Chains A and B, each alone.
Chain A
Amino acid sequence: MKGGSASSGGTDAPSNSSSSSSRTKKPKYSKFTQQELPACKPILTPGYVIMIFTAVGVIFIPVGLFSLFASESVVEIVDRYDIDCVPSNYSSNMLAYIQSTATNKTCTRSLNITKEMKSPVFIYYQLDNFYQNHRRYAQSVCFSYTIYFEESTCDHRHRNLKIAFRYVKSRSDKQLRSSKYESDTKDCAPEATSKGFPIVPCGLTAWSLFNDTYGFSVKNKALEVSKKNIAWKSDKGHKFGSDVYPKNFQTGELIGGGKLNSSIPLSEQDDLIVWMRTAALPSFRKLYGKIEVDLQVNDQVTVVIQNNYNTYSFGGKKKVVLSTTSWIGGKNDFLGIAYLTVGGLCLFLAISFILVYVAKPRPLGDPTYLSWNRNPAGN
């Protein structure tokens, strides 16, 4: 090598101490300015590649097995009742059945316990094809997402004069948190006011509250359904005020879903709180309650359903679900299977890499692979 390259000789660190260097424009030498910081420069050598693939495989497969096992240990009973609970004479016009106030909505279902269910057994209702995540729905939840520069917002007449400062465009639960703000229903349309009075809780979500009810019994012995702790603590504690009581709710010309007991503050209306927590997907479950006793194999659980909620007009399904949980939650094999698949794939890749290196060994950096000439410089 010729030492000719002007740059190779200059690694000497100049002394910055001399007084003259302060006057020169000579760049200060440091590992940082010269881009010579100590660094680790990993490259994907076969060793690393095989090691990483193997490690991922070795870790993922047991994790997958554990998850799958946990999911399998969960006992889940799902019963779809929306069609079967409509009397056969209404089966051609289910909508008329559900909208009529005269029809008997009670319906009895029997569920067979195939595996022992340890308490607590969670009761869910499941709705399909119900878009709680529709923008109109999710954002019309009667919570005003508007903060005014001035906090006192009771005065309707002045509201328009104030400059609205849109803070965030999602729920901020204002009306629900404190009775002070109960007239704050700006974005709740069309369920904001009823006959000129603000609705509490306002908005489409509360208005369309799910109102089927379930009663459970085994061997004619009623099972107690606990509604304790079915809502998130933070919702109860901070988003729904204990001094806010339902007002003018479901008093409009069009009744949506369930009604609320106006003597119970919102923070105690667990069903409402659960319902108000927007579901992510159009097919969702929400916690209805818990059964705090074990259910034995071959027990017949009788469910008495008050089939009130209208899913017939949009073709939604209604299901009642009984499920236990494990550390991984409810029954869903996906996580376990995905772990197993990815782990298996990694092991497979590791093995194929090993095979390739055995079949086609070459010393690292074999220049025959250095094939710049294959794509010669563009002329």
Chain B
Amino acid sequence: MGHEGVGFKSGSTRSGLPTTRSRVPRGRQIQKTFNNVKITVLCGFVTLLVLRGTIGVGNLTGSTLESEDQRVVEDIDRILREIRTDSEPEPQDPLSSLYFVNSTAHNWTYAEAVEAVNYSLGPKISDWDQQRQVWLSQNPNFPNQLLGKHRILLVTGSPPNPCDNAIGDHYLLKSTKNKIDYCRLHGIEIVYNMAHLDKELAGYWAKLPLIRKLMLSHPEIEWIWWMDSDAFFTDMAFELPLEKYKNHNLIIHGYPDLLFEQHSWIALNTGSFLFRNCQWSLDLLDAWAPMGPKGIVRELAGKILTANLKGRPAFEADDQSALIYLLTSQQDKWMSKVYVENSYYLHGFWAGLVDKYEEMIEQNHPGLGDERWPFVTHFVGCKPCGSYGDYPVERCLNSMERAFNFGDNQVLRLYGFAHKGLVSPKIKRVQDQTSDPLQVKEKLDMAARITM
């Protein structure tokens, strides 16, 4: 032990030689260590390279999930951009070049523009009522009434491309489900349109060629009910009082005083209205369409409408203002067959309704359709699909969720469930399951009070 101790103490090189060697080994030591370090670093570097090449690990600490996430998100963004920009150049309005380029030349008036464009929804039909009667008598398997009720076709739609705002598509989906539910409960068929049938009548005017097309293709349908994609059914028990409309062909929500006395541009609402399938309706569509064609016609028409309708801002002609202008300027021709309905909310402006839902649940019951339990809550101006609405986005989305759940509660009730709250997507059971479910069903009244 003593020897070893001496041996150990005598030098780090274990050679046992005395201090004469310590200076040289010191230098060599440093060199050796330096070499070792070099080799280690080199080897480490090579290992990293190899691993990176084989496994593809940019950062060995396992954040690859995030990078994969990132990659997927980038992929989706790129695909979204491709999908959104998938568009051909817009068709040129044949007269627009004249309008803009040559200002010293002839200034088009609205009447001249209409005549020059010469737009028509289709070949003139004058005997549609007879054609339809003949067809119905020849096709008893496609009657215009089912179980004593006239057949209704609900028409709605949205553009074929994804919304600029992703949440917009989610609310289109919910709105569609909401319409499917109401229509299933009331035996109404649905057409969801995503096609631009007429490039000239694009935008809000697109409903005109669509309505005409559906009327002419489906003679078995008595009423065509247009409904905007941002309108929700909030009274699932309310049935349209069709007997009231025996002698009318256009049912539209509005206020007669605003219409006839004030000529207000919001006197009527074309977000939810009914057209009877008859000659009169075809004639009205033909009289309504001329302000619609994109470009110079629509712009000049817009100026006329702003000049004649109270409160209308300056922008191109829209279908609602055009209809109001038409009905007020040709009152004698059309108004006898138009029913301006305001005894229930065939269209209900959302801002005044959505905050009162809890109060309604407390005090009223479904089936009323009016301010106590609105039939339709219409999110005018929210535009969840586009980038800019007229109201704060959060308020709009929150309110749409509430309206959807308010209506959905009335459907879920049939199965014994309800939403946990008007903003919650979660549901809770409100009626226990039983081994005699049909007894419960017999007693279930859609129009009865809802206890949450």
Partners in one complex: no
Binding site for A on B (CB under 8 A): none
Interface residues of A (CB under 8 A from B): none
